[in-house]
Structure 1
Amino acid sequence: MTDSGTKRRGGGPLTPDVRISKALSYTLRHGAEKEGLKLRSDGYANVSELLAMNKFKSLGLTFPELKRLVAENDKQRYKLIPLSSIDDSDDTLSANVEGGEEDAAKYLIRANQGHSITISSEALELELLVPGSADFPQQIIHGTFYAFYPLIVASGGLKRMGRTHIHLSPLAAYREFNSRADPSGSAPNESDHRRPARGGKNKQQEALSGMRRDAEVVFIIDARRAAEHGGCKFWRSANGVILTEGNADGVLGMDYVERVEDRRGLGVLWEGGKVVKELPVGLKNRMPPRGKEFVVRGSRGGGNAGKGKKPKGKGELEKEEVRIDAGDV
């Protein structure tokens, strides 16, 4: 796993803001220990220590720029708070970086979700959602890609694997998101299977916390049944993502998936435990977004490609695929 690239999926260069955001995501979600950044048990890092890291120095990140990026992030992935606003009696981070920016040492930052670093749901201060309460979402969705959809079904459901949580969104928020993307309310043309755009002038309106913008299919899940009968607890993060650790095995099983829908006009693909409509061959063989292709192909794009390592077996591919798909939002 790497922290950032230099090109966007369309092949053009990443903007400085996107490069910094990718680097922040990797450090705060996955790489802090490896990179030598100390995290509290609740996932917070001292901002002055983060800014002192060579990777962020090389990106030219300053405290004012960090504050702007956190405030403007389309999915509100990060939380920035004054050190004085929390109780440090039993979990402190010293601000001992010489030459740091004066105010940065008085602030903490963390990722709101998406960690592979072990942090409990309680430590992340997530809101526990109680079945039957007014704010419990009856139906939730998980977005993924054509290449991954059959593997998830075959493996028995969504899995958090190396991540702390499976990421989801309320179905109502997803429907609203789609209506904003297409105010006419008309369904996409069935022959148009271009990926939904990730760019745009108003990213606040185009982002849906808990789902990638370019997701090609969605799993629609009965959250109440999964909670009451499937051993799943559901939480809401500060930026509105619905999270679950799954059952005791880290799985949100297919028993609680009502249906799987295509986002580009093919309609329902899977429902009631069986395939309703087969994907066209061209979509079955479609490569996932750049950075994920090695998971399906094993010998192209990333991962072990070109490094002389033995390709993964089928079972290993399914496990690796679900792990990456479940958390990359």
Structure 2
Amino acid sequence: MNKKYTETSKFLSYILRHQPESVGLSLNKEGWAVISDLILLSAKEGYEINYDFLQSIVENSDKKRFIISEDGLRIRASQGHSTQDVSIQYSEKTPPEILYHGTAIRFISSIREQGLIPKERQYVHLSEDKGTGYQVGQRYGKPIILIIKTMEMHEQGFKFYQAENGVWLTDSVPFKFIQV
């Protein structure tokens, strides 16, 4: 991955997940932005993006952070929104027996007290594989993988959703369902 690709991907994450208004972009309730608007407004911020480059970022992203609409006219972040203007209607799904959450060891005492909470995001993010959790945990310090007893949670009424990129989402995870 080259520097332009990485910088543009980070820029897209920022505006499609957190601050679309920072560049004058409008997202609808499902998080979709018009690609032609995105390209125009990105150029004003110094990001030279054309449709082919944008499509390359979407297709080659290891985490599949973005999705282009079937008609090819709109783009959105798959999940991870902090803006309250976006409320993607994910379909409820039955989770596997366990899922993983990567974090840093320094957060364990806080997690013991309040469980996993979404903080500035709309959902807690969980993954099906330890490797992804480990990568996420590394971003915040010395990583640790938490095992989440998701089927047990589901049986007690907790709801789970899965984004287009495979990330599992839930509102919160009480500590009693977490194995450190």
Is this a same-fold pair by TM over 0.5? yes
Q: Counterparts in 2 of 1:242-257, with a 5 A limit?
A: 242-246=168-172, 252-257=173-178
Which position in structure 1 is the counterpart of 2:83? 117
* Aligned residue among 46, 66, 69 for 1:78: 66
* Bigger RCO (CA 8 Å, 6+ sep): 2
Q: Percent identity?
A: 30
Counterpart-to-counterpart distance in 1, 2:70 and 2:161: 24
Which structure has the greater CA radius of gyration?
A: 1
Which position in structure 1 is the counterpart of 2:114? 156
Secondary structure at 1:79's aligned position in 2? Answer: strand
Q: Counterparts in 2 of 1:184-203, with a 5 A limit?
A: none
- Asked whether the 8 Å contact 1:227–1:233 carries over to 2, the reply is yes
**Over aligned residues, Cα RMSD in angstroms?**
2.2
Which position in structure 2 is the counterpart of 1:45? 33
Which position in structure 2 is the counterpart of 1:214? 138
Which position in structure 2 is the counterpart of 1:238? 164
Gaps of 5+ in 2: none
Which position in structure 2 is the counterpart of 1:26? 14
Secondary structure at 1:25's aligned position in 2? Answer: helix
Secondary structure at 1:114's aligned position in 2? Answer: coil
TM-score of the two chains, using structure 2 as the length reference? 0.87
TM-score of the two chains, using structure 1 as the length reference? 0.49
Secondary structure at 1:17's aligned position in 2? Answer: helix
The structure richer in helix per residue is 2
Counterpart-to-counterpart distance in 2, 1:23 and 1:210: 23
Using a 3 Å threshold, how does the CA distance of structure 1 residues 144 and 213 change in structure 2: closer, same or farther?
closer
1:82 positional shift: 4.1
Secondary structure at 1:129's aligned position in 2? Answer: coil
Counterpart-to-counterpart distance in 1, 2:76 and 2:163: 12
Counterpart-to-counterpart distance in 1, 2:110 and 2:37: 41
